[in-house]
Structure 1
């Protein structure tokens, strides 16, 4: 894996790629991080896309992903959360129901917590019943920031 750190509005994000694509995003600095600008094209592209996302200029990621871990259920949750449109949210219960098990809302929460590529795979778009802001591995202030960023951009795009 190759790691790089992005200074973002929600703090440092460590981003890793392997031979297939982006495989990790972590909140904070993860060592080992290479000094200088990354030379690996997918890692550079991931950092550029994240910068565009935080600038409100990018509403969908296109970098290739490499997800090699997770149960079948977790992978299904990650695919489902990737399908939630930019600027929108779904509840844990709605995701569970969409995956065929309306009683699996807590399991959806566990899968969100195990998401290896937060922000790019948008687990922040999953909220509690009634839209309540609950659960996020990066902390609720980061989740709130991401949701507010997307809501503002979506509103601006809708009115332009």
Structure 2
């Protein structure tokens, strides 16, 4: 993301059933997706400055929320984390629409069995929720243990219901 001395990011905002979304990126990758939290977005004071890629991502999100899209094909920058985080984010990206994994299953899928707490931290640091489906990870008993995007658990519940993923309330 930008620092106080750098140029403002390219960004676009999208209305959704979850409230406002804000995407940042450049001509080649989506950098972040934020879901409104407590009525605010990270760059709400800045004007929109969309790139063609940001417009394409916004269109795909609109299609997803309308029930017309089950996969995204926009490139997301997953290189701005630790090696461990990047491996978790790649694991998240491999979970298909309508499916889910437990934190333990996700850990095993990336060769990190027994790293459940660290897996949870990396899932929570996902820079582009929805595009990289971190909402598709549940506890081994099917419960929601948390969600760091939007309004938290209610946001995750909405996304799970939207995709027809069963969870324990």
Q: TM-score over 0.5 for the alignment?
A: yes
CA shift for structure 1 position 66: 2.0
Asked if structure 2 preserves the Cα contact closer than 8 Å seen for 1:8 and 1:54, the reply is yes
TM-score (norm 1): 0.88
The residue number in structure 1 matching 2:100 is 89
TM-score (norm 2): 0.83
Asked if structure 1 preserves the Cα contact closer than 8 Å seen for 2:87 and 2:110, the reply is yes
User: In structure 1, which of residues 44, 51, 56 is the aligned counterpart of residue 67 of structure 2?
Assistant: 56
Give the unaligned 5+ runs of structure 2. 1-8
99-108 or 88-97: bigger deviation: 99-108
Kindly report the root-mean-square deviation, in angstroms, between the aligned alpha carbons of the 2 structures. 1.5
CA shift for structure 1 position 10: 0.8
Q: Deviations over 1:111-155 (max 9, x none)?
A: 011100111000000111111112211201110100110118xxx
- For 1:134 and 1:13, the matched residues in 2 are separated by 23
- For 1:33 and 1:18, the matched residues in 2 are separated by 16
Aligned length: 150
Counterpart mapping for 1:124-139 below 5 A: 124-138=135-149, 139=152
- Structure with greater proportional helix content: 1
What is the SS of the residue equivalent to 1:4?
strand
Q: Deviations over 1:54-89 (max 9, x none)?
A: 111000001122233111111111111111111011
- For 2:46 and 2:130, the matched residues in 1 are separated by 20
CA shift for structure 1 position 33: 3.6
Point out 4+ residue stretches in structure 1 off by more than 6 angstroms. Answer: none
The residue number in structure 2 matching 1:104 is 115
Give the unaligned 5+ runs of structure 1. 153-160
